[in-house]
Structure 1
Amino acid sequence: MGKQKKTRKIVEKRFAQMKKMISLNDARIKKEHRAPSKKKPEDPQKLKIREAPQASSALFFQYNMQLGPPYHVLIDTNFVNFSIKNKLDIIQNMMDCLYAKCIPYITDCVLGELEKLGRKYRVALKIIKDPRFERIKCLHKGTYADDCLVNRVMQHKCYIVATNDKDLKRRIRKIPGVPIMYVSQHRYTIERMPDAYGAPKNAV
């Protein structure tokens, strides 16, 4: 019984201390430390203003009017590595896939990523430095290519993105009118461009 009485007294003391505390809405407390005031219920009669992103002028519904030969293909780091693993010539296989002239583009951050990977990827670096590959200068800091490619594709709808990265594919699928090229079954495949050779019926 003695233990129970002791614990009861301790609990009562703590409860009394809690009661003494100033409420967070008290005027004596500084504004930044006060509890946020309760918002008034919204008037259902009031007009709601919503900001929707402006649709690109390049799109006719889901059809991208800016896509056409010669195709401009933005290449990701892992696409180059997958092409080497599957012994595929990048430009030749792109042309076989799209039946048209293709211009591969390499951004500074993709080049930086490959340089960071070290000597193991020197073959990929040698391929990328081919004069047939166009270079695009990046104005952002760091060498994280995914954000750079997504931002570039959102601004300019004239590119096809070549990547095997699942996360990057998922992000690009949310942008309407941007086809994705990737390596599958020892050849290049393109999705969201139904007239092209090797285009899958269902997106993988």
Structure 2
Amino acid sequence: MGKDQRTRKYATMKRMISLRDSRIKKENRKPAKKPAQPKEDQRIKKHEVPKYSSALFFKYNTQLGPPFYVLLDTNFINFSIKNKIDIFQGLMDCLYAKCVPCVTDCVVGELEKLGRKFNVALRLMKDERIERLPCIHKGTYADDCLVDRVTQHKCYIVGTCDRDLKRRIRKIPGVPIMFITKRRFTIERMPDAFGAPKV
């Protein structure tokens, strides 16, 4: 037996209106196709690169110079008291220049929260030789405060022994970090300073 040679008659088929037709109500209409988006590999990748400050000249900070302004962190103050280092003399020995220790309101607030154990540090912070910097922001988290201040103004050296804060400040170009080793202050990322470790 041979194949059935009859073909389908298209004219007799029931015609349907397209779901995108203008005669159909808006609620029942099928939404228009969106243009296909390119795959992630084909998309142009955008990288947000931080703008370099005008203070930096070939990654060398031109705003740093005597008298040096040193922003002190809570643990830096506590460790210098534990190691019996005079902050003013220690800064002078490290940088061989006049240094102005600075403390933000957040650091003082943190010291007040720590209680009676840190009364010596608190009394030291109220010395007239230490410059007090007012804070406008809410909260008393000193690490964020110091990082914000240093990103805005590149004229400070940050004194801290906190690993996390050091890691955050290393990402900001042109900001030296001061810390305590072998019962004396040393400075990082400032090769012309006396206290800088020799490479």
- Superposition TM-score, scaled by structure 1 size: 0.76
- What's the % identity of the aligned pairs? 69
- Superposition TM-score, scaled by structure 2 size: 0.78
Q: Partner of 1:150 in structure 2?
A: 147
Q: 1:38 to 1:185 in 2, by over 3 A?
A: farther
Q: Which runs of 4+ in 1 moved over 4 A?
A: 42-51
Q: 1:97 aligns with which of 86, 94, 97?
A: 94
Residue segments in structure 1 that go unaligned for 5+ positions in a row: 1-27, 29-36
How far residue 42 of structure 1 moved from its aligned partner, in angstroms, is 5.8
Taking the aligned partners of 2:119 and 2:94, their CA distance within structure 1 comes to 26
1:112-131 alpha-carbon deviations (Å, 9 max, x no partner) = 00000000000000111000
Q: Partner of 1:193 in structure 2?
A: 190
What is the aligned residue count? 167
Aligned pairs (5 A) from 1:11-160: 40-41=37-38, 51-160=48-157
1:143-199 alpha-carbon deviations (Å, 9 max, x no partner) = 100001001000000000000000000000111100000111000000001111221
Taking the aligned partners of 1:112 and 1:135, their CA distance within structure 2 comes to 12
Q: Partner of 1:167 in structure 2?
A: 164
C-alpha RMSD of matched pairs (Å): 2.3
Taking the aligned partners of 2:75 and 2:176, their CA distance within structure 1 comes to 17
Residue segments in structure 2 that go unaligned for 5+ positions in a row: 1-26, 28-33
Q: Which of 1 and 2 has greater Rg?
A: 2
